[in-house]
């Protein structure tokens, strides 16, 4: 049994799952429906969901507008398929990792790496995922937000684990997880496949930055790491800001 199949049963047991996710897993998009799906991703990224019409989709696929409705009942259904398919990919990568008994820093590094790989595997779809979900209507909007919160909670769990082990300094774990994911999800804005950094290098540098920000280093020890003059200057600036 493959990783995706193993994940499916566990996913159903532990998580609230939108029915569309299970349909996508059991019946992958193929043929003309896939052509419409891919065209919608490109158009939603280029023009935005609101500015894209079903006629635009039909023209991009070389189809009659009426033919679109043989595969999708509405433009929102196309968006639902894009968003929940992308959500599935994120969970498929992260869920098995969460069941591994690993030190929190290693688990966080691996989670960042897996997230980066999903984002960069399809930058157009990642941009639609990050920006266009607000156009969903209920109950789909509530289901999607629920999935986002569940995914965020995995990162909160890693941070809590690291704090309990004394490996991460005490922080507001929810605030940190939201900031971390905001940074990772912004990759679609600047990532280029022909850029100077490979996917592995991007993931490593991002995880290094995030991990060093979470290290359990006391403030008095930080002065020795940074140099007494630099640390003294930063403390003076902090004091001035507090008194202004």
Mean pLDDT value of segment 9-33? 54
User: Residue 229: which residues within 8 A CB-CB, separation 6 or more?
Assistant: none
The arithmetic mean of pLDDT across residues 57-81, rounded, is: 93
Number of domains in the chain: 1
**How does the average pLDDT of the chain come out, rounded?**
81
* Structure tokens, 77: 């259904």
For residues 111 and 134, give the distance between their C-alpha atoms in angstroms, rounded to a whole number. Answer: 25
> Residue 35 sits in which domain range?
3-243
CA distance 151 to 145: 10
Please provide residue 234's backbone torsions phi and psi, each rounded to the nearest 5 degrees: -70, -35
Domain with residue 62: its CATH number is 1.10.357.10
Count the neighbouring beta carbons within 10 Å of the beta carbon of residue 32: 15
Among residues 128, 126, 119, the alpha carbon closest in space to that of 45 is found at 128
Contacts of 47 (CB under 8 A, 6+ apart): 56
Lowest-confidence segment of 18-32, 135-149, 164-178 by average pLDDT: 18-32
Answering whether pTM is above 0.85, one says no
Q: What is the pLDDT of residue 23?
A: 52
């Amino acid at each position: 049994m493959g990783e995706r199949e193993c994940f499916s049963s566990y996913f159903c047991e532990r998580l609230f799952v939108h029915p569309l996710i299970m349909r996508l897993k059991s019946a992958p998009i193929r043929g003309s429906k896939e052509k419409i799906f891919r065209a919608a991703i490109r158009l939603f990224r280029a023009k935005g969901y609101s500015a894209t019409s079903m006629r635009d989709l039909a023209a991009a696929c070389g189809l009659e507008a009426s033919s679109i409705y043989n595969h999708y009942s509405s433009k929102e259904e196309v968006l639902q398929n894009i968003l929940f398919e992308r959500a599935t990919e994120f969970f498929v990568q992260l869920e098995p990792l969460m069941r591994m008994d690993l030190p929190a820093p290693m688990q966080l590094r691996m989670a960042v790496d897996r997230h980066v790989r999903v984002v960069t595997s399809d930058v157009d779809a990642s941009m639609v995922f990050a920006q266009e979900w607000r156009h969903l209507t209920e109950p789909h909007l509530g289901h999607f937000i629920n999935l986002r919160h569940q995914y965020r909670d995995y990162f909160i769990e890693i941070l809590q684990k690291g704090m309990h082990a004394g490996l991460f300094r005490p922080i507001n774990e929810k605030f940190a997880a939201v900031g971390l994911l905001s940074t990772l999800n912004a990759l679609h804005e600047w990532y280029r496949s022909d850029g100077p950094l490979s996917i592995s290098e991007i993931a490593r540098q991002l995880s290094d930055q995030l991990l060093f920000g979470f290290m359990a280093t006391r403030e008095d020890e930080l002065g020795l790491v940074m140099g007494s003059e630099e640390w003294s200057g930063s403390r003076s600036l902090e004091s001035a800001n507090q008194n202004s």
